[in-house]
Amino acid sequence: MDSTYAWGQAIGGMTLIPALRGLWSGSSIDEHKGIVDLSSQGREIVAMNTLTQGRYGILPYIDFTIAASEYLKRVTEVGLEITTGLTCWAWVYFDVQSSGAETGIISKWYTVGDKRGYVLYKSAGDAFTFAISSTGHAGAVATIGDAAANYTISKWWFLAGRFEPSAEVALMVGNATSGAYTWYKNAVAIPATIYVTDEAFEVGRYDRDNYLDGRIPLFGIAAEHLTDTEVWNIFSQTRPLMV
């Protein structure tokens, strides 16, 4: 698909996602450097410290720098305190400074005070990882990762984390260049709910540290465990923008 048409189809399709709670793009930045919520639910997410915008083809992205401690933040609210089914996703491009470092992508997670909720991140071992906690404590975490099978710098990756209550946590990793994708799933001792943490919803860092050095053009979250096909549709409809 020509990228000229991919944008409209991608955004239009994602607004039909069940229980969509937020959809944000590097294209929709207001005069206060807030990222406008394209789901029409009014959940603007605010740039902390500075915010730099770049462009890849026709697609604007947010350019995060570790040295400047840049990230996006929205104070907690009921709509993002998702306790049952959850799916979150983002396109991410990693710069070299992210290699070998804990790198937050999407999170409501703070270890101090046991405020763990849900998090999509890259580990210090360069494994893409999705985790949820049922109580906020370290001993009640269900997690799934890709064992560092995919990470490389200077390439667009589609990452999606999914929680299905009492069934599984899952991670999808999609390669923009090849169109290949892989699911990683964990169905062992999965809890029924996610802990309601009052930690802020953040993009580009987690645990009040662990900053991303790289780019994010598009990200979203739904209070629903989307099917494999529904997640693949998000990947396939947005991929033409990334190649």
pLDDT digits (tens, 9 = 90+) for 130-181: 999 999 999 999 999 999 999 999 999 999 999 999 999 999 999 999 999 9
**Domain count within the chain:** 1
Give the Cα separation of 4 and 134 in Å (integer). 42
Q: Which amino acid is at 230?
A: E
Mean pLDDT calculated for residue range 209-232: 97
pLDDT of residue 15: 83
Give the Cα separation of 172 and 220 in Å (integer). 14
Confidence band, pLDDT 50/70/90 cuts, at residue 192: very high
Greatest C-alpha distance within the chain: 48
- CB 203, CB 216: distance < 8 Å: yes
Note the pTM of the prediction, 2 decimals.
Answer: 0.96
Give the Cα separation of 125 and 102 in Å (integer). 8
pLDDT of residue 30: 80
CATH of the domain at 35: 2.60.120.200
pLDDT digits (tens, 9 = 90+) for 94-109: 999 999 999 999 999 9
Judged against a pLDDT cut of 80, whether residue 24 lies above it is answered with yes
Mean pLDDT calculated for residue range 81-92: 97
Look up residue 70 and give its two tokens: 């840049």
Domain residues for 112?
3-241
Confidence band, pLDDT 50/70/90 cuts, at residue 4: low
Confidence band, pLDDT 50/70/90 cuts, at residue 57: confident
